[in-house]
Amino acid sequence: MVVSSELPRDQLRGRETKQRVIEAATAEFAEYGVAGARINRIAGTARASKERIYAWFGDKDALFDNVMQSGLDQLAHAVPIDVDLVEYTVRLHDYFARDESVQRVAMWAWLHDTATAGTFSDGRTEGYSHKLDIIRDAQHRGLASPDWRPEELLALILAVATNWHRAPAELRTLATPGFGVDLDAQRASVREAARRLVEPRVH
């Protein structure tokens, strides 16, 4: 007997609807943050009932946690970390440059999670634990400076990768008056800053 690997139609529709909810919630949180987001708008955009959203995800904070987990999973897949931390920083910069909504959601997450004392799921810390293991490996191999604690180095790498995206608009205007954004120059500055951070110092 041949067993079909296809999902039942109802289950497939449910999965598609759940994905629409995540996408709609991502856009909503990027625009309004957690406090300003509205389940009504998310439900309307996703063509899903509020009752189903609550049944799947729980309250709004839990839905935001799911959005963050989905975003972190996508980031880990699109930009996997390796011991070449300089190029990893540049690839992170490129990823964030392609999608500004990722930056907005990350900023809202920083504000929200700080205010709620980090009441997020354990799953969100697992990816960072993996990144810290890679950084320790790079330091052990002599490929990254041991002068930083791994947590410090990862935080600095993230800051460098997003520095132009999070810089004040006034500063960005002064940096490129009348000429628009010089993407190549930005990318080069990210690579150089990462190199200075990561490369072991010669004593």
pLDDT digits 0-9 by tens, 17-44: 999 999 999 999 989 988 899 999 999 9
pLDDT digits 0-9 by tens, 90-108: 999 999 888 877 777 877 7
pLDDT digits 0-9 by tens, 42-64: 999 999 999 999 999 999 989 99
Residue 72, CA distances (Å) to 37, 81, 117, 123, 125 in order: 20, 13, 19, 10, 10
Please give the model's pTM, rounded to 2 decimal places.
0.80
pLDDT at 2: 43
Question: CATH number for the 79-198 domain, one of 1.10.10.410, 3.20.20.70, 1.10.40.50, 1.10.357.10?
Answer: 1.10.357.10
Domain ranges of the chain: 7-58, 79-198
The verdict on domain 7-58 having CATH code 3.20.20.70 is no
Give the residue-averaged pLDDT of 137-142. Answer: 98
pLDDT at 3: 45
